[in-house]
Amino acid sequence: MKVVIADDSRVLIDHLSEILTDIGGVEIIGKVSDTDAAIAMILEKTPDVAIVDIKMPGLGGIHVLEQVKTQNGKIKVIIFTNYPYHQYREKAYEKGADYFFDKSGEMEKMLETLKFLRDKEK
């Protein structure tokens, strides 16, 4: 399963990359830290899954989500954020998010979801 990670924290990108590589069957094909780069990379590389933060330079993760889903609805988009507020969750699902997880308490849940998506591909 091919994955792109879009987050403004290099530490989180590196940590998440390590974890995902360790679970097997996951290939990180891109790492970006701003909105424009995220949209360009996701649409160019067409990963199976894009993990996108809400707060990052540019117009933010909801904009990335909207652009990706409008142009390629097959890509699964996971919003992974420190801002799990109701209004963001609601907006993300309205714009087509497949999943929405809180960084501070739902890392394991997100990893289980990625394993599920990986296994579903086989």
Q: Identify which of 76, 103, 72, 95 has the alpha carbon closest to the alpha carbon of residue 4.
A: 76
Query: What are the extents of the domains in the chain?
Result: 2-121
The answer to whether residue 19 scores a pLDDT higher than 70 is: yes
Confidence of residue 122 (pLDDT cuts 50, 70, 90): low
Let me know how long the chain is. Answer: 122
**Cβ burial, residue 90 (10 Å; 0-12/13-18/19+):** exposed
From the options 4.10.520.10, 3.40.50.1110, 1.10.3720.10, 3.40.50.2300, give the CATH code of 2-121: 3.40.50.2300
Share of the chain above pLDDT 90, in %: 94
**Quick one: pLDDT at residue 116?**
95
54-92 pLDDT per residue, tens: 999 999 999 999 999 999 999 999 999 999 999 999 999
Residue with the two structure tokens 């609805």: 73
Burial of 27 (0-12, 13-18, 19+ CB in 10 A): exposed
Q: Collapsing DSSP states into helix, strand and coil, what is residue 81?
A: strand
Beta bridge partners of 4: 30, 50
